[in-house]
């Protein structure tokens, strides 16, 4: 975490040891949560169902981490705002949006409503989360907002059309956020994961999670917009 921008009219303070993970669960979400917990962060885990959240929360608590859970659906911005209102009020310094709808589909076959829902999850959800948490970050002159992207943004996949559309749009959304927020001392960046995430491989969740910590601790003036992680 960095000190607020010099000369920035800071009007609030953030909790520098509080991270919110939207899209918590097994796999990469668990890896990111473990990485920040190792640094002493209190964690708020967010996912659609409590059944997804509780196993990870139990694991983290057993290791000594402070963990809260919030069931909420990013595809429902109004419901999301209501569920996360107490978390937003706590002014966390780090927010990670790790959400994606991975389904096999066809751009010429599946109905438009299917793609609208996928974009609501992959892109609009990230925008909704940014709109909830970044105002306090901007007021404080510091903060980190990280987003998980995907390889289809770089290499379009006709067999996963909605994911391709979503991750391409999300990558550009992150670039816009980076441009808008940097002047206020807030680091917005993406992690583009190319390949299949699997424990014990070069794309092990814990290994990928290290990139999120590196982005959070990147020195101001050398902030990345995006890091591509392909296991190399």
Per-domain residue ranges for the chain? 15-229
Quote the Cα angle for 158-207-215, to 5°.
Answer: 85
The CATH classification number of 15-229 equals 3.40.50.720
Please report the sign of the dihedral spanned by the C-alpha atoms of residue 36, residue 211, residue 124, residue 53: negative
Partners of residue 18 on adjacent β-strands: 42
Position 196 scores a pLDDT of 92
CA–CA dist 175, 123 (Å, integer): 13
Position 9 scores a pLDDT of 62
The token pair that represents 120 in the structure block: 């609501």
Chain mean position to CA 40: 19
**103-144: per-residue pLDDT in tens?**
999 999 999 999 999 999 999 999 999 999 999 999 999 999
Neighbours of 50 (CB within 10 A): 11
More confident residue, 4 or 13: 13
Please report the sign of the dihedral spanned by the C-alpha atoms of residue 153, residue 154, residue 158, residue 160: negative
Residue 5 has pLDDT above 60, yes or no: no
């Amino acid at each position: 975490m960095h000190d607020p921008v010099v000369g920035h009219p800071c009007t609030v303070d953030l909790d520098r040891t509080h991270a919110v993970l939207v899209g918590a669960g097994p796999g990469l979400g668990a890896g990111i949560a473990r990485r920040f917990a190792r640094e002493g962060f209190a964690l708020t885990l967010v996912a659609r169902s409590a059944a997804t959240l509780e196993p990870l929360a139990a694991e983290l608590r057993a290791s000594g981490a402070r963990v809260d859970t919030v069931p909420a659906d990013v595809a429902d911005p109004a419901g999301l705002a209501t569920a996360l209102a107490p978390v937003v009020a706590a002014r966390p310094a780090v927010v990670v949006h790790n959400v994606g709808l991975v389904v096999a589909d066809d751009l010429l076959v599946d109905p438009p409503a299917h793609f609208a829902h996928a974009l609501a999850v992959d892109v609009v959800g990230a925008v909704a989360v940014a709109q909830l948490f970044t105002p306090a970050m901007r007021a404080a002159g510091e903060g980190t907002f990280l987003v998980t992207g995907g390889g289809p943004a770089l290499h379009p996949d006709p067999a996963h059309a909605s994911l391709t559309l979503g991750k391409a749009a999300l990558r550009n959304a992150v670039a816009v956020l980076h441009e808008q927020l940097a002047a206020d001392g807030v680091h917005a960046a993406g992690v583009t994961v190319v390949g299949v995430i699997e424990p014990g491989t070069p794309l092990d969740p814990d290994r990928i999670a290290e990139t999120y910590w590196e982005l959070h601790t990147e020195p101001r003036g050398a902030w990345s917009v995006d890091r591509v992680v392909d296991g190399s």
